[in-house]
Structure 1
Amino acid sequence: MALETMGLSPMEAFAIVGVAGVGAQWIAWRFRMPAIVLMLAVGLLLGPVLGVFLPERDIGPLLEPLISLAVAIILFEGGLTLNFRELHDAKSAVLHLVYIGAPLGWALSALALNLIAGLSWEAAIVFGGIMIVTGPTVIAPLLRQARLRARPAQALQWEAIVNDALGALAAVLALLVVLVGHQNLGGGEALWHLVSGVSFAVLLGLAAGGGIVAAFRRNLVPEYMKVPLLFVTVLAAFTGANAILHESGLLTVTVMGLLIANANLPSYSEIHRFKESATILLVSGVFILLGAGFSFETLRLLDWRAVAFVLSVILVIRPLTVFLSLMGTALPWQEKALIAFTGPRGVVLVAVSGIFAEQLVAQGIADGALLVPLSFVLVVATVVLHGFTLAPLARRLGLTSGDKPGLIIVGGSQFSTELAQALEKAEVKVLIADPNRRRLLSARKAGLHYYYGDILSEAAETSVEFIAYNALLSASDNDAYNTLVATDLGPELGRNAIWQVTREKEDVARYTLPSQLGGKSIAGGRTLSQYLALLDEGWSFRTTRLTDEYRIEAWREASPDAIPLALVTRDKLSFISEGGRLNEAKPGARIISLMPPDVSASASRADRATASLLPASRLPDARVAAEPEAASGATI
């Protein structure tokens, strides 16, 4: 039972929403829990359970516009991720899920609502249209947690964002059909209202997006004003479209984001990263508001039919819709199965159904009141189910990058090759990238995975499964390029996972760079040339596993002159940084180190150097001999 409180001021309410939402996301990340589930649970705890924060009481009339504007910005940011250049082999699946899946899902959902949930046909076709949406507010955090491979992740993300706007418009169309039968509104007038509203929404999105692109390309907007201008334009376009046709603003902001994403703007990366951060804040807040604003009293309107309906949606309607839609595509059955059993609903479903429920009840359709509790139960059921099952299901189907750590080494050299071999002994997935084919010869000879091309290129975005690698070492012979790579990929992989070999003259004041540029230095402060010199002197990499009997102290005693470089645990790789605490290494961890030459070391550096200069045609690796010389941007 909720506790009686005096209520909160709007400022206190906003503070609670922010702290609870972001705090729930951090706890979910820290303890590897589904973030969406935790945010919803925190919202329910603060609202209907404890009564600490009740949106209707503490925010009042601001609640609905806040959620609407938040959803608009979330959808716009989602549109920014829909870059056609990145779609590639997922294009066919996305088109089928939109063109076939959306109308098929609408029809099947309406049928289930009528036959199973017991809704009238009028309420069923309206709610069936809204059920097309699969929730970009939910999909993005789930994909981030599950670390899916590129193609199924792209299919789910594109479907969620595009169908979110289409679902709202389908519900608008269905509502207009209902109003024609209950009001003195002609069919032609209703059709004109819909067509003109949708056309205006699309044109407004194109105009707003095109205006932004033109202004940015002609340098009419300074850098510091670009993100604020985007925010204002998104809100204005969303509000303007909704003024003509309710909920058509969702289509406007999606079109706007899609246009900007494919305009190849120089500032796109910075814009997208800022919008991504804003979206995380908004998703957190929206789910706290959603949970806190729910009333358990509305559940009394439901009976066993609601449970049967939710089960039919998850186990029958969604799988049937996906499998029928994806017939004829080249997707393997594993990817089809994953998409079929992943259909979480989000805040858009609840927000839009609440609006349309009021209009249906106002027209004398009593069971329209069931839309809100049905939508909430469906959201909770799918969020909880997919929050806990998506990652395990994807692993079972072999569609994730796995839980083992992965490292990208930028720069091909003997140092990179031997380090990669030592890391692979510790079960770390390693990729060596270099735009110079000759520098990759030693990696190719050793049978290592490599990428021939610039790791920052657009080709790399589609050829390299970045999600399979959670750390990067920039170790080319070009210090400026190392710094560029570490700085550019830092936001994607996380600053704490970006490492860089020490730059030449780094300790000289005039060469020192700000802390926000480049990656973290490895302990020892050696440059690439110094590491190569050690290898030429006979030093070698060694992978040592710690046990209960052989702990870090024993390793130090046995190898007093060793240079520890990296520590590998079951799911994490970290290089030993300056001041790093190697003493925290526990049994089961593996230490990657450089060992000095000893009497038994008979490996000839000269032989290796000679082998590295051999032409590709004389290397023993059959894969290399068969590889076309003109190939560029290929991952092996």
Structure 2
Amino acid sequence: MEQTLVIAMVGMLGIGAQWLAWRTGWPAIVLMLAAGFLAGPILGLFSPEHAFGDLLEPMVAIGVALILFEGGLSLDFRELRHAGDGVWRLVIFGVPLGWLFGSLAAHSIGGLEWPVAILFAGILVVTGPTVVMPLLRQSSVQPRPAAILKWEAIVNDPLGALCAVVAYEYFRRIAEFPDAGLFEVVPPLILAAIIAGIIGYVAAAAIAWSFPRGAVPEYLKVPVLLTTVIVVFVFSNTIEHEAGLVAVTVMGIALANMNVQSLRSIHPFKQNVAVLLISGLFILLSASLEFADLAYLNWSFGLFLLALLFVVRPATILLSLLGSSVPWNERLFLAWIAPRGIVLVAISGLFALRLADIGFDGRALIGLSFAVVVATIVAHGFTIDLVARMLKIKGSNRPGMIIVGSTPWTNALADMLREMETPVMVVDSSWQRLAPARQKGLPFYHGEILNEATEHNLDLTPYSVLVAATENEAYNALVCNEFAYEIGRDRVFQLGESVDDRDRHTLPNSIRGRALFESGFGVEDVNERQAQGWVFRKTKLSDEFGFEAAQQRLPDAANMLLLVRRDGTIRFFTHAAHPEPRAGDTIVSFSPPQRRTPGEVAAKRASKKQKQRPAGENA
């Protein structure tokens, strides 16, 4: 089969599996494994080794390097501070303990020879963020254990690669010089790692210096960055085998902590590249599997998987967190949850190709890494919610709303959402404008939402919708554009253009958020109506009391704003979308005050006086 057709099939299968995972909620990594295994060994549609030959190994190596660089860019030490000492303990003590326990289990239980067992156990210290984050969103765990799991995954991703590099280089040198002692092998490895780290840091410093000063035009920043990563990787590898993985990891971490503002603009592209690489590598590696590789999945490896789940991980966590401030129920939760992901498979696939060069059978690593990924995702993915509930660390799983701008209208909306038990957060850079929200006891964040520091101080995970409703329409559009990629273009909203501005078309629709209200009320429109006494009203629908009946009960001028499903999902009524209300939904409308008849007013006053009478007083 032609290489171009194989590349097209790899892309179609990888992205198709990602899309199917998004539609169904199933783990993407399992679907990609199934797609690659089906296309490769089962149906025989293509074989990556036959299609790409000698190019397969460098393709995988560069893909792994770019994935590790992207993972390093996620490691901002300022945000890591909020996770407390739990993450540092899991790095300082957990990585060596996990490596030691994993090596013993892989050799004595799994039956792997010592070099392969030690290298494989080094890679097993990773808990991939690409699978941890979806699990945390799915189960809605409380903030502290969720933060520890998240940052353990981010930090341990590159550390697992470093452990594998150290193990591989050690055994490669032993294979070349059988008589070499420990002190003859280890110092050169340490020196090579230091040199590679310096190369990565210097490259990061060069990027951080040149990008803000206009030395690189905007349209070349992404190509320059990606090319620099590849050059650093290849150049470091010429100094020492696999030292390039150390260099690109250090480069990513250094760039993440150098406050390079111009890197914000390339984050979407960086994440797109990561998705493409992950999808492509996973399909290539799973399609490379052969039925002979599955022979390693015998009863002894099954026992190793059980030991990994019930002995290695719990022992690593509990010993690492001894004497820490992390409560015992959270320690037990952390001891159970450790799903592995793409980094495990990618690095295992890379070293499986390299181990044969130094006389060891590394083919087992590909099949074994896939088995670990599937076992941990299934075991932890289907039990995380139950375990979190049993250990009483379950957080709110209702989707929330971020409201940018503290105004009488937004505060009234936030108050209504809080009454409906929907998580809400009012964000404003002015402490004075936040005063009414603070007086009402509304959750608030004082700060500029577009400031980079906000990314580290405000956890956006609980919020699925953003509404920008400040007095500045252009600022609202800027906020919507900034968060469209992270939250979703169809989940960022702003008020429409005011009546006086509609003929001027001040801002094109392409850069605006979705317009709230079918009528397209603007900022001035809602403020004027708010001053006239308009209020938010909620109406619960049922089988007997449907949407049409709810509309008839409201004043004719009322405008439907949104509905909240039973599960907390928020859907807005806009000029472009009209959600279908059904029984169990709660409709929120913005409507004028209802005029009561004289009889209704008198009855309300009488009821109020009756409630104010002292107990025991006769009417």
Q: TM-score range by the shorter chain?
A: 0.7 to 0.9
1:499 correspondence with 2:493? yes
1:596 correspondence with 2:596? no
1:576 correspondence with 2:573? yes
Work out the CA distance in 1 between the residues paired with 2:138 and 2:471.
35
Deviations 1:536-589 (A, max 9, x none): 33332111111111111222233351211112112421221114325x211111
Q: Sort the Cα spacing of 1:485 and 1:371 in 2 relative to 1 into closer, same or farther, 3 A.
A: closer
Kindly state the Cα deviation for residue 528 of structure 1 after the two structures are TM-superposed: 2.8
Q: Sort the Cα spacing of 1:121 and 1:506 in 2 relative to 1 into closer, same or farther, 3 A.
A: same
Work out the CA distance in 1 between the residues paired with 2:230 and 2:156.
20
1:206 correspondence with 2:201? yes
Given candidates 238, 250, 253, the residue that maps to 2:248 is 253
**What is residue 480 of structure 2 aligned with on the other side?**
486
Q: What amino acid is the match of 2:444?
A: Y
RMSD: 2.9
Tell me which moved more, 129-138 or 212-221: 129-138
Work out the CA distance in 2 between the residues paired with 1:42 and 1:359.
25
| Partner secondary structure for residue 593 of structure 1 | strand
Deviations 1:243-285 (A, max 9, x none): 3333322221111111111111121211222101211121122
Kindly state the Cα deviation for residue 146 of structure 1 after the two structures are TM-superposed: 5.3
Work out the CA distance in 2 between the residues paired with 1:47 and 1:92.
45
1:309 correspondence with 2:304? yes
Given candidates 530, 544, 562, the residue that maps to 1:566 is 562
Q: What amino acid is the match of 2:240?
A: L
Alignment of 1:263-342 (within 5 A): 263-342=258-337
Q: Sort the Cα spacing of 1:405 and 1:398 in 2 relative to 1 into closer, same or farther, 3 A.
A: farther
Work out the CA distance in 2 between the residues paired with 1:501 and 1:417.
15
Q: Sort the Cα spacing of 1:523 and 1:393 in 2 relative to 1 into closer, same or farther, 3 A.
A: farther
Work out the CA distance in 1 between the residues paired with 2:161 and 2:389.
33
| Partner secondary structure for residue 30 of structure 1 | helix
Alignment of 1:345-424 (within 5 A): 345-353=340-348, 356=351, 370-390=364-384, 393-394=387-388, 402-424=396-418
Given candidates 11, 15, 20, the residue that maps to 1:22 is 15
| Partner secondary structure for residue 211 of structure 2 | helix
**What is residue 461 of structure 2 aligned with on the other side?**
467
**What is residue 624 of structure 1 aligned with on the other side?**
none
Given candidates 526, 540, 544, the residue that maps to 1:549 is 544
Work out the CA distance in 2 between the residues paired with 1:240 and 1:394.
46
TM-score by length of structure 1 reads: 0.86
Alignment of 1:150-229 (within 5 A): 151-178=144-171, 182-185=175-178, 186-187=180-181, 188-229=183-224
| Partner secondary structure for residue 59 of structure 1 | helix
| Partner secondary structure for residue 434 of structure 2 | helix
Q: What amino acid is the match of 1:100?
A: F
Q: Sort the Cα spacing of 1:182 and 1:348 in 2 relative to 1 into closer, same or farther, 3 A.
A: same
| Partner secondary structure for residue 217 of structure 1 | coil
Kindly state the Cα deviation for residue 374 of structure 1 after the two structures are TM-superposed: 2.8
Q: What amino acid is the match of 2:503?
A: V
Work out the CA distance in 2 between the residues paired with 1:485 and 1:357.
46
Given candidates 570, 577, 581, the residue that maps to 1:585 is 581
Given candidates 233, 239, 243, the residue that maps to 1:238 is 233
1:135 correspondence with 2:135? no
Q: Is the contact made by 2:132 and 2:150 (CA closer than 8 Å) also made in structure 1?
A: yes
Kindly state the Cα deviation for residue 161 of structure 1 after the two structures are TM-superposed: 4.2
Q: Is the contact made by 2:210 and 2:216 (CA closer than 8 Å) also made in structure 1?
A: yes
Work out the CA distance in 2 between the residues paired with 1:27 and 1:414.
42
Work out the CA distance in 1 between the residues paired with 2:576 and 2:115.
68
How many residues are matched?
A: 595
Q: Sort the Cα spacing of 1:198 and 1:47 in 2 relative to 1 into closer, same or farther, 3 A.
A: same
Work out the CA distance in 2 between the residues paired with 1:473 and 1:358.
50
**What is residue 36 of structure 2 aligned with on the other side?**
43
Q: Is the contact made by 1:566 and 1:591 (CA closer than 8 Å) also made in structure 2?
A: yes
Deviations 1:363-390 (A, max 9, x none): 6656x65444333322332233334444
Q: Is the contact made by 2:517 and 2:560 (CA closer than 8 Å) also made in structure 1?
A: no
Given candidates 97, 106, 110, the residue that maps to 1:113 is 106
Work out the CA distance in 2 between the residues paired with 1:198 and 1:94.
23
Percent sequence identity is 43
Tell me which moved more, 100-109 or 557-566: 557-566
Work out the CA distance in 2 between the residues paired with 1:44 and 1:122.
27
Work out the CA distance in 1 between the residues paired with 2:352 and 2:594.
79
Q: Sort the Cα spacing of 1:405 and 1:162 in 2 relative to 1 into closer, same or farther, 3 A.
A: closer
1:427 correspondence with 2:424? no
Kindly state the Cα deviation for residue 305 of structure 1 after the two structures are TM-superposed: 0.8
Deviations 1:457-500 (A, max 9, x none): 34533443211111111112232332232222222211111111
In structure 2, runs of 5+ residues without a counterpart are: 602-619
Q: Is the contact made by 1:149 and 1:465 (CA closer than 8 Å) also made in structure 2?
A: no
| Partner secondary structure for residue 267 of structure 1 | helix
Work out the CA distance in 2 between the residues paired with 1:259 and 1:545.
52
Kindly state the Cα deviation for residue 177 of structure 1 after the two structures are TM-superposed: 4.5
Work out the CA distance in 2 between the residues paired with 1:79 and 1:243.
22
| Partner secondary structure for residue 515 of structure 1 | helix
Given candidates 447, 450, 459, the residue that maps to 1:453 is 447
Deviations 1:64-112 (A, max 9, x none): 2222222211111111111112122325223222221111111111111
Kindly state the Cα deviation for residue 181 of structure 1 after the two structures are TM-superposed: 5.3
**What is residue 625 of structure 1 aligned with on the other side?**
none
Kindly state the Cα deviation for residue 335 of structure 1 after the two structures are TM-superposed: 3.8
Work out the CA distance in 2 between the residues paired with 1:388 and 1:395.
13
In structure 1, runs of 5+ residues without a counterpart are: 1-7, 605-636
Work out the CA distance in 2 between the residues paired with 1:507 and 1:496.
22
